[in-house]
Amino acid sequence: MSEEKNLNFIEEIIEEDLANRKYTEVLTRFPPEPNGYLHIGHAKSICLNFNLALKFGGKTNLRFDDTNPVKEDTEYVDSIKEDLQWLGFKWATELYASDYFDQLYNFATQLISKGLAYVDDGSAEEITALKGTPTEPGKDGPYRDRPVEENLRLFEEMKAGKYKDGEKVLRAKIDMAANNMHMRDPIIYRIKHAHHHRTGDAWCIYPMYDFAHGQSDSIEHITHSICTLEFIPHRELYDWFIEKLEIFPSKQYEFARLNMTYTVMSKRKLLQLVEEGYVQSWDDPRMPTISGMRRRGYTAESIRNFCDRIGIAKRENLIDVSLLEFCVREHLNKLASRVMAVLDPVKLVITNYPEGQIEELISENGPDESYGTRKLAFGKELWIEREDFMEEPAKKWFRLAPGALVRLKSAYIVKCEGFVKDNNGTVQEVHCSYLPETQSGNDTSGISVKGTIHWVSAAHAIPAEIRLYDRLFKVENPSQEEGDFKEYINPDSLHVISKAYVEPSLANAAAGSVYQFIRKGYFCVDKESQAPKLVFNRTVSLKDAWAKEVKKS
RNA sequence: UGGGUUAUUGUGUAAUGGUAGCACUACAGAUUUUGAUUCUGUCUGUCUAGGUUCGAAUCCUGGUAACCCAACCA
């Protein structure tokens, strides 16, 4: 009878607000500053905000928090919109804090008129000095009691460009002794003679975050303004401005940001990785950015699913990246066609197969009929995986070894008759005989073998570059280790195989398409791939029980 | 050492005074023309010390630990 609801704490608040008829419609917003690329942490926030609106029948705005012109750029605006769309979300209205500059200026004037804001001529150092510390109260500065008329005039002059950067600021007049540092007369406007990506040179004063964000929420009638934990101390200020300005009472709620093992999530650190060449770009497949994950072959659905599973709460967390990988495999398992590719090739010669003979075998493309079938060329010489042959087989080994039988996937059972080594002792060829009556689908032999391996025909296979990615860092939580986080970068996070062989059906594979390379993992075609030079990214490996077995002994 | 926030298995997250559940991970087994998938099973938890109560993860009191706050960043 009792329905399991399992609401997170924000959903509970919304449900209560709706029950109390506090709001008739839920309006949330996603408010990125256009100063960088979106990452998986943003995806958590995006899913939260948009899904809340979806769940309770409301809407979500996209609002760019563009109040600091020196850091922001249209390039970022575009990438953010692209990522959001790719993730599968539709915003109700596209807005910019800079659209409200006039109104924000008026709000500031109102505050001055009420005696709640003043122009301070102090330098940054002087202002900081008077601010006190968390354990010591601040002190009132010399400009705090400037008359309203003078403040009004000075603020207007600031706007008119009469002063240089840093010469004056506008401050809210609250309480220099407040426990909350953010209430010690916070700066609300600063002078910046800088070009803004949208307003150009119309302004030389810009509002601070605290004076823009809450008011923007209020202007839009955002009902639930959701942000991360570090903004908790800002909430008192958020409410103060709304109260003094007597505007729509948006409410701020905070949840814990996402942290994930073996990566970093701060824009500053990600920027360093790009700028200092530890990765190639913002969309490097090793990056935790949305664009990096997209390029790596992660699907939007799997990222959304991941965000659902990690939940929303207020406690610090460090999510195991294996959960993300699970979500990716889960989706790709349903999505990806199965094909064969040999990453580390060694020749397999079928000694009793007629020279020059080619057969067309039929192979299924996936676990059920919906995937369809394709033709596979089979011949006397094949490429197989070097690791699928062992001269002296280990315990529980059921791949190729002298005398052993294995099935070549979708083809025949073969028996290993011998092998050829070069002077260095490296295996050059594996020799097998095949059992003609064991053809896949027409097997009349009654023989069953333990191992099945993948292969490609040497005469038909096409070469490809394959990029294997590993975790970017050697430690679970690089940000918490001693010293510079970059000391913990995994030097082997990228392994490029310049000459692998893939089956010919992949010759025209389009960038972005995803495949399962049987027994090797999920791969996608990189954006740099251009026939005849194919490039694949390994999205994620398959689970590997044999690797675990080896590790144990 | 001022203020704020948070503590549930290895990792996340539920349980809103009444059987500590779910997912990932790990481990074991079954099926398998992918050592994959699928299926079955197993392991480990309420930060701590008291108190209230028939009954406490939940309420109260005291401790402890972690995180955040002193940009003219957001």
Q: How do the pLDDT tens digits run along chain A, 553 residues long?
A: 234 578 999 999 999 999 999 999 999 999 999 999 999 999 999 999 999 999 999 999 999 999 999 999 999 999 999 999 999 999 999 999 999 999 999 999 999 999 999 999 999 999 999 999 999 999 999 999 999 999 999 999 999 999 999 999 999 999 999 999 999 999 999 999 999 999 999 999 999 999 999 999 999 999 999 999 999 999 999 999 999 999 999 999 999 999 999 999 999 999 999 999 999 999 999 999 999 999 999 999 999 999 999 999 999 999 999 999 999 999 999 999 999 999 999 999 999 999 999 999 999 999 999 999 999 999 999 999 999 999 999 999 999 999 999 999 999 999 999 999 999 999 999 999 999 999 999 999 999 999 999 999 999 999 999 999 999 999 999 999 999 999 999 999 999 999 999 999 999 999 999 999 999 999 999 999 998 999 999 999 999 999 999 988 7
Q: What pLDDT score does A4 carry?
A: 57
Q: Give the pairing of strands A187-191 and A169-172.
A: antiparallel
A334 nearest nt, CA–C1': B37
Strands (E), A247-288: 251-255
A257 given a catalytic annotation: yes
State, as a whole number of angstroms, the distance between the CA of A303 and the C1' of B45. Answer: 28
In order of their start, the domains of chain A are: 9-255 (3.40.50.620), 267-337+464-552 (2.40.240.10), 341-454 (2.40.240.10)
Q: How far is the CA of A314 from the C1' of B18 (A)?
A: 27
Strand B contact at CB of residue A201, distance < 7 A: no
Instruction: Tell me which protein residue sits closest to nucleotide B2, measuring alpha carbon to C1'.
Output: A135
d(CA A167, CA A187) in angstroms, rounded, equals 13
- List the catalytic residue out of A267, A347, A486, A519: A267
d(CA A178, CA A184): 6
pTM of the model: 0.96
Residue A267: which of A38, A43, A68 has the closest Cα?
A: A38
Q: Cβ atoms within 10 A of the Cβ of A142, count?
A: 11
Nearest nt to A312, CA vs C1'?
Answer: B13
Dist CA A185 CA A144 (whole Å): 9
A254 is catalytic: no
* Distance in Å, residue A310 CA to nucleotide B14 C1': 12
Q: Which nucleotide is nearest to A394 (CA to C1')?
A: B35
Strand B contacts (CB < 7 A) among A residues 112-151? 122-124, 127-128, 131, 133-135
* Residue A33 is a catalytic residue: yes
Q: What is the ipTM of this complex?
A: 0.97
What is A80-142 written as a DSSP string? HHHHHHHHT---S-EEEGGGGHHHHHHHHHHHHHTT-EEEE---HHHHHHHT-BTTB-----T
In angstroms, the CA of A396 and the C1' of B36 are apart by 18
Given the residues A11, A15, A33, A330, select the one marked as catalytic: A33
User: How far, in Å, is the CA of A27 from the C1' of nucleotide B70?
Assistant: 34
Which pLDDT belongs to residue A142? 97
Pairing, β A455-457 against β A521-525: unpaired
Q: Which nucleotide is nearest to A178 (CA to C1')?
A: B3
C-alpha distances in Å from residue A428, one per residue of A62, A419, A460 = 59, 7, 19
pLDDT for the residue numbered A553: 76
Q: So what's the pLDDT on residue A2?
A: 35
Chain A 229-258, CB < 7 Å to strand B: 229-234, 256
Q: What SS3 state is found at A486?
A: helix
